Amino acid sequence: MLRHINQFASPKNFYALSCKLVHYFGGACLLLFVAGVFGGLLFSPPDYQQGESVRIIYVHVPSAWMSLFVYIVMAGAGTIGLIWRIKIMDVIARSSAPLGASFTFLALATGSLWGKPMWGAWWVWDARLTSELILLFLYLGYIALQSAIEDPRMAARAGAILALIGIINIPIIHFSVEWWSTLHQGPTVSKLDAPSIHIDMLIPLLLMALAYMCYFISAVLMRARCDLLALERNSAWVGELIGERSR
Amino acid sequence: MYENTSAVLEAVRLKCVRGERLIFENVGFQLCSGEVLQIDGPNGSGKTSLLRILCGLAVAEEGEVNWKGRSINDDLAEYVREVNYIGHNNGIKSELTPLENLVVARSLMSSNREFSLMEALAQMNLSDIADIPVRKLSSGQCRRVALSRLLISQARLWILDEPFTTLDDNGRHLVQDLIATHARKGGNAVIVTHESLNLPEVILNKLTL
Amino acid sequence: MYENTSAVLEAVRLKCVRGERLIFENVGFQLCSGEVLQIDGPNGSGKTSLLRILCGLAVAEEGEVNWKGRSINDDLAEYVREVNYIGHNNGIKSELTPLENLVVARSLMSSNREFSLMEALAQMNLSDIADIPVRKLSSGQCRRVALSRLLISQARLWILDEPFTTLDDNGRHLVQDLIATHARKGGNAVIVTHESLNLPEVILNKLTL
Amino acid sequence: MLPEIQEFFHMGGYAFYVWSSYGLCFIVLVLNIIIPLCREKVIIRSIAIQVHRKQQK
Amino acid sequence: MKSNLLDVFMTILKRDLSLGLSRSSEIANPLIFFFIVVMIFPFALGPESNLLQRIMPGVIWIAVLLSATLSLDMMFRSDFEDGSLELMLLSRYPMTLLIMAKITAHWLLTGAPLILASIFLGVLLNLPVESLLYLFITMMLGTPVLSMVGSAVMALTVGLRGGGVLLALLILPLYIPVLIFSIAAIDNAILGLPITGEIYILGALLVLAITLAPFATSTSLRIRFG
Amino acid sequence: MKSNLLDVFMTILKRDLSLGLSRSSEIANPLIFFFIVVMIFPFALGPESNLLQRIMPGVIWIAVLLSATLSLDMMFRSDFEDGSLELMLLSRYPMTLLIMAKITAHWLLTGAPLILASIFLGVLLNLPVESLLYLFITMMLGTPVLSMVGSAVMALTVGLRGGGVLLALLILPLYIPVLIFSIAAIDNAILGLPITGEIYILGALLVLAITLAPFATSTSLRIRFG
Ligand code: HEM
Ligand SMILES: Nc1ncnc2c1ncn2[C@@H]1O[C@H](COP(=O)(O)OP(=O)(O)OP(=O)(O)O)[C@@H](O)[C@H]1O
Ligand SMILES: Nc1ncnc2c1ncn2[C@@H]1O[C@H](COP(=O)(O)OP(=O)(O)OP(=O)(O)O)[C@@H](O)[C@H]1O
Ligand SMILES: [Mg+2]
Ligand SMILES: [Mg+2]
C-alpha cells in the first residue's frame, strides 16, 4: 500500500498527473467563476438592509472560507511530508502558503471594503477581524521561515512543525463570533441545518465557493510544479523532460 | 577492551551536496577495531561535512554509514552513545568554569566515572585554571577544555575536527597520545587534520578528499 | 621600498596583567626594516595579549611600544594606518560575499589600488567562490578571505595571530610566500604561530613567551 | 438600456466598495496564476541551459 | 536508569539556572522590560485612574507576553553558537528529557519572576482582589505554555540570521490564544460571570503544551541540524 | 581628503544597508513586530473602539519604541562578534565618521520604515488629522534620537555578558523623555493647546544626540576594547 502511494507520489508521476489536473480544475474554475459572478452581480437580489453592497459577499465569504481551509491543507500536507517523507506533500504545503496568504489578504481587504459602508469604519478591533489578521501573520511567518532556511528539505520540515503549532488558531477564528459578542456577522451560511440566507443569494455564493476551491487546486498545483522542477533539477527525469522539450 | 569485529565503522559511497554544489561523491572507507582514520584535503573539500555525516548530525544525499554492520540511522540514539564528536566549535559555555563544563559534559555522555574530573583537567594541564570562567581563557586553553572531554568519555568512536588548532606543541603531543592509547585499547578515531600524525603502534588509514 | 631605519618597531619591557594575573613581564624586542618576528609559547602565555598591545587595541600595564622611535600612543591614529592586524576572528561578515568583504576592507585601509580585488582573491584560490556568501564557506575558506586582506593593504607592519589555523598546505605556503615577499620589500611582520616558518632570504627573529 | 447599465455600475451608491472588492480579487487571483507561469518559464530555461552544458561536455 | 534520567535532568536544570544567574541580565532584563512597558502606559493614557484600573490586567498580560518573547532568545541561542546543542543531540539521553530541563529552567528564570512582578504591580496599582487572584491563576497556567511554545519555535529559528525578530513574528500569533482566554477569565471574574470554561481551556492548553512541546522542540532541533 | 571621507562614509553606509537588505528579515521583522504589538492591544483591552481610539497614538509610540529597541542589536553585535569592529577601530579613518554612517544606515533601515508604518496604521484606524500630523512630526524628531542614543549605549554593552541590564537601565532615562514629550505634543495638538514647547524640546534632544552620539559611541567602543 505504502509503496503504491510512494510510486504515485513520485515526483515524475506527479508532474505528469498534475499537468492534466491543472487543466481540468482550471477549466472548471473558469466556468464556475463566470456563473458565480453573473449570478452574484446580475441575478441575485439586493439586501433589504445593506442594499447593493451585499454583493461583496460573493467574494468576501469564499475568500474567508478558503483562508481557513488552505491553512488546514498546508498543515496537513506538511505533517504528511514530515512523517512519511513524501516530497510532494512538502512541496504542496510550501506552495499553499502564498495562496493562503492571498486569500487571507482578500478576506481582510474585501471585509474592510464592506465594513466601511456597513460599520462606518475600515477597521474595527473585532475578534474575528483581528483573528483573521493573526492568520495573515501566521502565513507570513510560515513564508518568512521558509525563506530564512536555505536547505529546502529542512525548510519544509521546519515549516510543517510551525504550521502544526499554529493550527490552534483556526478554531479560534471560526468560533470567535460565537465566543465574543461582535459586530461581525454570525454563522449564516454555514449553519448546515437551516441556512438563514435567501436561496437566490445562496446559489451564487456556493458557485463562487466552488470556483475558489477549483482555483486553489489548480493554482497550488502550478506552484508545486515549479517548486518540484527547481528541487529536482539535477535528477534524471527532469533532464529527460527538458531535453525532449527543447529538442 | 572492545570486542574485535571486522569493519566496525564503514562508509559506503557517500555523496554530499550543499546548496546546489556537489561536494564529494563515492566516498567510502572501512575501519576495523583499533584503527584510526586521518582525513585530509584542501580547504572546502568537505571534510567537516563528512564528519557531520559520520556522527549522524547531517544526512548524506546518497550512500550510508554502517556501525557494526547496521546503518546508523536504524538506531541513531544507540549509535550516538558510542560517538564523541568534537567539532570546530568547542561546545563549552563561556560563563562556566572548565570544571563546571566537564560536569555537564559528563552527565550527558556515557562517562568514565572512575576518572575524576580534576584528574582529567590536570592531564590537560588545566588544573590551575579549573575555576576561571572559560570566557577569560585563551583560545588554546578553551580548545584544551573541549578536548578534555575525550578523557572522561567511554565512547568508542572519536570524531575530531581539526583538534590541534591553536594548541601548542605540548598540547599536540598530549592529544596524539590520547588518540594512540584509545586506539590501542581497540577504540576508533576519525580525525581531520592537515598535520602528520604520530601514533606509535596504531594502524593509521588515510583518506584524502 | 620603505626607508631603512634601525629598529622600526620596538617593544620595551612590556608587562601585561589580565584580571588579577600577571601574564608576562619584561618582554621586549626590536625589529629592523625587513625583519620578521615569530612569537611562540605555550597556550595561555599571552601571545594574543601581546599582539593586541602591539597594534594598539589594548594598553600594556607597563612598558611601551615604539614605532619609528616614537611611542605608538603619541599618535595612535597615525600608527594604526601602518598596521594590518588579523586576529583569531576573521573580521569578515558572513552575509557578504568574499568580494564585498574585500570592498569594505579596502575602503577602510590604506590600500593598494593597483591590485584589483579579484586578483587578490584569485591569488588566494578563491575566485570560484568570490560570489558566495561567506556563511556558506568552510572554515579554511573563511580564513583565506580574511588573509586576502594582506594582499590589498599597503600597511607596513603585519600582525598575524595564528594565520595558519584551518589552512591546508597550499594555503600555508601561500601565506608564507606573502610574508616573505613583504619582508623582502622592507616590511615587517609579527606572527604568532606554533609552526616553524620557512621564509627564504628573510631575517627571522624568535620570541618565546 | 443605457441608464440600466449606468445603474448597474452605480451599485446603489456602493460602486466604489463593490467594484474595488471585485477588482482586487481579480487582480490577486490573476497574479497568483501569472507568477508561477513566469517562474516555470525561468526555471525551465535555466534547466535547459544546464542540460545543454552537460550534453556538450 | 530512572534515577539516572533524573540526575541528568537535574544537571541540565542546574546548569541552565546557574548560567542564567551568572548572566544576571538574563533574569533582570525581561523584568525591567516588563516594568517599563507597564509604566509607560500612564504616560500614554494620562492619569485617569478609572481607565487605567480597567485596562491594567490587560496591559500587564501584554507586558508579560512581550518580555517572555524577548527572553526566549536565551534558551537556545548561546547553546547553538558554541556547539553545546550538538553535544546534547549526540548525548546518550533522549533529547526530550534535556529539553524539558531547559524549559523548566527557563520558566523558573523568567516566568516565575514575571508572575511575582505582576502581582507586585497589581497590588501597587490597587487592582481589585478578583483581578489579582485571576491574574495569578491565569499566569500560573499561561506562562509555562509561553515557555513551551516558545521553545518549539525558538528551536526552529535558532541560528537563523535575523532570528531574533523572526522569532517574535512567528511566536506572538501563537501566544494570542493564551492571552485571549486569560483576559476573558479575568474580565468575567470581575463581572461575576462564570469562568470555569476559560480556566479549563487554559488548563487544556497547558496539558497539550507539556505533552507536545518537548517532542516538537527536539524534532525542530534535529531538523535545524539536518 | 574630504571627498575621501565622504567615500568612506558612503561605503560603510552602503555596506550596512546591503547587509540589512540581505538579511531582509532585519527590516521586515521590526516592522512586523510593530504591527503585532499594536494588534495585540485590542485582545487585551477588549473591543471598545472609543477607548482604543483614544490610546492609539500612545500605543503606536510604545510599539515604535519597543521595535526600535529590539532592532538596536543589529547595529554592533555581529560586527563585534566577527571582528569587524576591530578592523574599523584600526582603520585609517576617524571612528566617529564610520559610526555616523552606521547610525544613518540603522535609522534608514528601522526608523524610517517604522514612521511610514505608523502613519499607515494611523490612517487605517481613522486617527484625526492632528494626531497623524504630530505623530509624524514627533517621530521624525524622535526616532533618530532613539537610534543615536541606542548606538552609544549599545557600544558600551556590546559583547558584555549581562550587558543587557545595563542597556535597559542606560537607555531608559533617555528614551522615556522622547516618549513623554511626543505624546504630550500629540495630546495637546488634539486638544488645540500650544505644542511648540514640546517640539522644541524634541528638537533640542535631536541636536544634542547628533553632536554627542558619535563621540560617545566611539569612546565607548575604545573603552570596550581597551
Ligand atoms: C476586515 C473585515 C472582515 C474580516 C477580516 C472578515 C472575516 C471573515 C471570516 C474569516 C469569515 C469566515 C468565518 C468562518 O467560516 O468561520 C467571514 C465570513 C463572513 N463574513 Fe466577514 N469579515 C470582515 C467583514 C465583514 C463584513 C463587513 C460583513 C458584512 C456586514 C461580513 C460578512 C460575513 C458573512 C455573511 C460571512 C459568512 C458567515 C458564515 O456563514 O460563515 N464580513 N468573514
Ligand atoms: N578577558 C580576559 N580576562 C582575564 N584574563 C584573560 C582574558 N583573556 C585571556 N586571559 C588570560 O590571559 C592569558 C593570556 O591569554 P592569551 O589569549 O594572550 O594567550 P595566548 O598566548 O594567545 O594563548 P593561545 O596559544 O591559547 O592562543 C591566559 O592565561 C588567559 O587565561
Ligand atoms: N551552510 C552551507 N551551505 C552551502 N554550502 C556550504 C555550507 N557550508 C559549507 N559549504 C560548502 O561545502 C564545502 C565543504 O565545506 P566543509 O566545511 O565540509 O569543508 P572542509 O573540508 O571542512 O574545509 P576546511 O578545511 O576549510 O575546514 C565548501 O566548499 C563550502 O563552500
Ligand atoms: Mg572544516
Ligand atoms: Mg591566542
3-state secondary structure chain B: CCCCCCCCEEEEEEEEEECCEEEEEEEEEEECCCEEEEEECCCCCCHHHHHHHHCCCCCCCEEEEEECCEECCCCHHHHHCCEEEECCCCCCCCCCCHHHHHHHHHHHCCECCCCCHHHHHHHCCCHHHCCCCHHHCCHHHHHHHHHCHHHHECCCEEEEECCCCCCCHHHHHHHHHHHHHHHHCCCEEEEECCCCCCCCCCEEEEEEC
pLDDT of residue A215: 95
How remote is the CA of residue A80 from the centroid of ligand 4, in Å? 35
What number of CA atoms fall less than 13 Å from residue C126's CA on the CB side?
Answer: 33
In terms of pLDDT, which residue wins out, F209 or E225? Answer: F209
Answer yes or no: is A144 within a domain: yes
Q: Check if the beta carbon of residue E16 is closer than 8 Å to that of residue E106.
A: yes
Please enumerate residues of F whose Cβ is less than 8 A from a Cβ of E: 23-26, 29-30, 32-33, 36-37, 40-41, 43-46, 51, 54-55, 57-59, 61-62, 65-66, 70-71, 73-74, 161-166, 168-169, 172, 176, 179-180, 183, 187
CA E111 to chain centre: 5
Q: Is E83 on the interface with B (CB under 8 A)?
A: yes
| Alpha carbon distance E36, E126 (integer Å) | 18
| Alpha carbon distance A165, C141 (integer Å) | 39
Minimum-distance CB partner of E83 among B83, B90, B109: B90
What backbone torsions phi and psi does residue C164 show, to the nearest 5 degrees? -90, 0
**Residue F50 pLDDT greater than 50, yes or no:** yes
Question: Ranked by mean pLDDT, which of A179-183, C81-85, F221-225 comes out on top?
Answer: C81-85
What is the mean predicted confidence (pLDDT) over A113-121?
84
What is the mean predicted confidence (pLDDT) over F66-77?
76
Nearest bound ligand to CA A72?
1
**Residue E144 pLDDT greater than 90, yes or no:** yes
Classify residue E48 as exposed, middle or buried by CB count within 10 Å of its CB (0-12, 13-18, 19+): exposed
| Alpha carbon distance F82, F128 (integer Å) | 47
Cell of residue F71, nine digits: 532592532
One-letter amino acid of C194: H
pLDDT of residue C19: 80
Q: Which chains touch E (3 or more CB pairs under 8 A)?
A: A, B, C, F
How remote is the CA of residue B45 from the centroid of ligand 4, in Å? 8
Q: How far is CA F90 from CA B206, C39, C78, C143, C186, in A?
A: 43, 22, 10, 19, 22
DSSP labels, A128-148: HHHHHHHHHHHHHHHHHHHHH
Residue whose CB lies within 8 A of the most ligand 3 atoms, among B14, B20, B38, B45, for a mutation test: B45
Give the H/E segment covering residue A163: helix A152-166
Contacts of A158 in chain E (CB under 8 A): 156, 220, 223-224
What is the mean predicted confidence (pLDDT) over B58-74?
88
Nearest to residue E151, comparing CAs of E208, E184, E189, E102?
E102
**Residue E40 pLDDT greater than 80, yes or no:** no
Answer yes or no: is D6 within a domain: no
Cell of residue B51, nine digits: 564528519
Alpha helix ranges (H) inside A189-246:
199-231, 236-246
**Residue F138 pLDDT greater than 80, yes or no:** yes
Contacts of C46 in chain B (CB under 8 A): 138
Pick the residue whose CA is nearest to atom 25 on ligand 2: C43
- Closest residue in chain A to residue D25, using alpha carbons only: A106
Collapsing DSSP states into helix, strand and coil, what is residue C85?
Answer: strand
What domain count does chain A have? 1
Pick the residue whose CA is nearest to atom 11 on ligand 1: A64
**Residue B22 pLDDT greater than 90, yes or no:** no
Contacts of E161 in chain C (CB under 8 A): 94-95, 135
Q: Is B47 in the pocket of ligand 3 (CB under 6 A)?
A: yes
Pick the residue whose CA is nearest to atom 17 on ligand 2: B138
Beta partners for C35?
C203
- Closest residue in chain C to residue E162, using alpha carbons only: C95
The range of the structural domain enclosing residue D47 comes to 23-57
What is the mean predicted confidence (pLDDT) over B28-46?
92
pLDDT of residue A6: 61
pLDDT of residue E2: 53
CA torsion E125→E130→E134→E137, rounded to 10°?
100
- Closest residue in chain B to residue C19, using alpha carbons only: B136
Answer yes or no: is A11 within a domain: no
Pick the residue whose CA is nearest to atom 15 on ligand 1: A65
Please enumerate residues of F whose Cβ is less than 8 A from a Cβ of A: 25, 28-29, 32, 35-36, 39, 41-43, 47, 49, 52, 124-126
Q: Is F161 on the interface with B (CB under 8 A)?
A: yes
For β-strands C203-208 and B157-161, DSSP reports them as unpaired
What is the mean predicted confidence (pLDDT) over C173-181?
93
Averaged pLDDT score across all residues of chain C: 87
CA D36 to chain centre: 10
Please enumerate residues of C whose Cβ is less than 8 A from a Cβ of E: 94-95, 135
pLDDT band for A70, please (50, 70, 90 cuts): very high
In terms of pLDDT, which residue wins out, A191 or C171? Answer: C171
Answer yes or no: is A45 within a domain: yes
- Closest residue in chain E to residue A133, using alpha carbons only: E173
Averaged pLDDT score across all residues of chain B: 87
**Residue B155 pLDDT greater than 50, yes or no:** yes
pLDDT band for A38, please (50, 70, 90 cuts): confident
Contacts of D9 in chain A (CB under 8 A): none
Collapsing DSSP states into helix, strand and coil, what is residue A46?
Answer: coil
Q: B77 vs E89: CB contact, 8 Å cut-off?
A: no
What is the mean predicted confidence (pLDDT) over C110-139?
84
Q: Check if the beta carbon of residue E29 is closer than 8 Å to that of residue E50.
A: no
Residue whose CB lies within 8 A of the most ligand 3 atoms, among B23, B161, B164, B207, for a mutation test: B23
| Alpha carbon distance C125, F174 (integer Å) | 50
Classify residue E226 as exposed, middle or buried by CB count within 10 Å of its CB (0-12, 13-18, 19+): middle
What is the mean predicted confidence (pLDDT) over B93-102?
87
Answer yes or no: is D48 within a domain: yes
Q: Check if the beta carbon of residue F202 is closer than 8 Å to that of residue F175.
A: no
Q: F126 vs A121: CB contact, 8 Å cut-off?
A: yes
The range of the structural domain enclosing residue A153 comes to 20-228
**Residue B4 pLDDT greater than 60, yes or no:** no
Q: Say which DSSP state A47 is in.
A: B
Nearest to residue F64, comparing CAs of F31, F93, F95?
F31
Answer yes or no: is A122 within a domain: yes
Cell of residue C64, nine digits: 611601551
Q: D17 vs A223: CB contact, 8 Å cut-off?
A: no
In terms of pLDDT, which residue wins out, D6 or F3? Answer: D6
Q: Is D34 on the interface with A (CB under 8 A)?
A: no
What backbone torsions phi and psi does residue B58 show, to the nearest 5 degrees? -130, 160
Averaged pLDDT score across all residues of chain E: 84
Averaged pLDDT score across all residues of chain F: 80
What is the mean predicted confidence (pLDDT) over E150-156?
91
In terms of pLDDT, which residue wins out, A199 or C18? Answer: C18
A222-242: per-residue pLDDT in tens? 999 998 888 887 777 887 887
**Residue C115 pLDDT greater than 80, yes or no:** no
| Residues contacting residue E53 through CB under 8 Å, at least 6 positions apart | E125, E126, E127
| Residues contacting residue D28 through CB under 8 Å, at least 6 positions apart | A102, A105, A106
- Closest residue in chain E to residue A127, using alpha carbons only: E180
Residues with CB under 6 A from ligand 1: A 57, 60-61, 64-65, 68, 107-108, 111-112, 114-115, 118, 128-129, 132, 173-174, 184-185, 187-190
Answer yes or no: is D1 within a domain: no
pLDDT of residue A213: 95
Cell of residue B78, nine digits: 544507540
DSSP labels, C121-186: HHHTT-GGGTTS-GGGS-HHHHHHHHHTHHHHB--SEEEEESTTTT--HHHHHHHHHHHHHHHHTT
Chains B and C share 3 or more Cβ pairs within 8 Å: yes
pLDDT band for A181, please (50, 70, 90 cuts): low
Answer yes or no: is D28 within a domain: yes
Which of C4-8, C116-120, E192-196 shows the lowest per-residue confidence on average (mean pLDDT)?
C4-8
Q: Is F155 on the interface with C (CB under 8 A)?
A: no
**Residue B8 pLDDT greater than 60, yes or no:** yes
What is the mean predicted confidence (pLDDT) over A212-216?
95
E166-198: per-residue pLDDT in tens? 787 888 888 888 888 888 888 888 888 888 888
Residue whose CB lies within 8 A of the most ligand 3 atoms, among C137, C145, C147, for a mutation test: C137
pLDDT of residue A87: 85
Which of A87-101, E39-53, E100-114, E212-226 shows the lowest per-residue confidence on average (mean pLDDT)?
E39-53
Cell of residue B85, nine digits: 564528536
Nearest to residue E32, comparing CAs of F35, F170, F157, F142?
F170
Question: Ranked by mean pLDDT, which of A113-122, B197-206, D48-57, F39-48 comes out on top?
Answer: B197-206
Residue with cell 592529544: B175
What number of CA atoms fall less than 13 Å from residue C108's CA on the CB side?
Answer: 28
Per-residue b or e along F150-177, where b marks 16 or more CB atoms closer than 10 Å to that residue's CB: bbbbbbbbbeebbbbbbbbebbbebbee
Q: Is B199 left (phi over 0), alpha (psi -120 to 50) or beta?
A: beta
CA B196 to chain centre: 17
Collapsing DSSP states into helix, strand and coil, what is residue E92?
Answer: coil
What domain count does chain D have? 1
Nearest to residue C112, comparing CAs of C157, C160, C150?
C150
Which of A62-66, C165-169, D45-49, F141-145 shows the lowest per-residue confidence on average (mean pLDDT)?
D45-49
Pick the residue whose CA is nearest to atom 2 on ligand 3: C136
Residue with cell 524577548: E70
pLDDT band for F159, please (50, 70, 90 cuts): low
Q: D24 vs A99: CB contact, 8 Å cut-off?
A: no
| Alpha carbon distance C24, A238 (integer Å) | 65
Answer yes or no: is D10 within a domain: no
**Rounded to a whole number, what is the distance in Å from the CA of C133 to chain E's nearest CA?**
13
Which of C130-134, E23-27, E103-107, F54-58 shows the lowest per-residue confidence on average (mean pLDDT)?
E23-27
What is the mean predicted confidence (pLDDT) over A122-126?
73
The CA-CA-CA angle for residues D41, D43, D49, to 5°, reads 105
